[in-house]
Amino acid sequence: MGRWILRLDLRSPSFAGENPQLYRTGLDMAAEADALGFDHCMLSEHHGAADGYLPAPLVYGAAVAAVTRRMRLRVSALILPLHDPLRIAEDAAVLDRIAEGRLDLVLVAGFLPQEFAMFGRNHAARGRLLEDGIALLRQAWRGEPFACRGTTVQVTPRPWQPGGPPLLLGGATALAARRAARCGDGFVPGVMGLWDTYARACRELGKDAGPEPVFGPLAIFVSEDPDATWGRIAAHALHETNCYARWYREGGIAGPYGHCDSADALRAAGLYQVLTPAQCIELARVLGPEGQLYVHPLLAGIDPSIGRETLRLLRERVLPALRDS
């Protein structure tokens, strides 16, 4: 019935008003999604965003791990060149212990110059920093002493998962796809059309690329009155897509979001879909077992009651029907 993914980035623009319970609400929704049988909780990372975009997904991931029992935690994505990889090795090992082996990391090189400036990192060297960081993580998670920066270090505790959490690589270029085949345990394409490049590179290396993911909308809501619900989320969806589109321009990359001037145009594009329970069931069936269904219950500061309605209808109407079929 597809792969159900809870998205939490906790951004909340000023027009949404203050919500001091936002982080706690996200944890409550993660616990409910876990009970519903969701496959992943997706936590993202950006820095210095005026809307409060989550800057510390490993910290928040520890809280999510503590209130869930079965769904995997997918940090998607962690901008590894902005961090000391030795410290990431420690933090991720501890998080993997808390989650009892439910952690996946999607690593990216990053693209926003202002984020690299914020941390005094070399934007031009981000590809090399990513690859060097991946090599260090793998070595650190062996649990043995090793040479690093002119001294001997050891990362403890070892992660729960032998060898450490899976390291998937994300990106929106052919270079990123080939790097994922060479250095990663999987690939999360940022744009359509890159999977073939990744699969071909895997074959050349004698590796199995695995099944190609099938992407649906970037955010799904379920409602008894889709038109009314769209009216409540439209400004928030416009904020998200236009913010990403601006970041893509600043970073000089492609991505799934494009600038939209109106809510009607955005709705017509289909990136954000408000569906009746019956329509949601049909979408899940069309996407099939490899389909990825993203539920974004706190999209850019929306009223949490909208996300709660989606989770309720999934529990009462959608998921039982899919399981019965």
pTM above 0.75, yes or no: yes
How many whole angstroms separate alpha carbon 258 and alpha carbon 242?
7
How many whole angstroms separate alpha carbon 243 and alpha carbon 261?
12
- Check: CB of residue 107 under 8 Å from CB of residue 133: yes
What does the pLDDT look like over 36-55, one tens digit per residue? 999 999 999 999 999 999 99
Which DSSP state fits 260? Answer: -
Average per-residue pLDDT for the chain: 97
How many whole angstroms separate alpha carbon 217 and alpha carbon 283?
10
- Check: CB of residue 251 under 8 Å from CB of residue 111: yes
Report the pLDDT averaged over residues 303-317. Answer: 98
How many whole angstroms separate alpha carbon 69 and alpha carbon 58?
17
Confidence of residue 325 (pLDDT cuts 50, 70, 90): confident
- Check: CB of residue 220 under 8 Å from CB of residue 283: yes
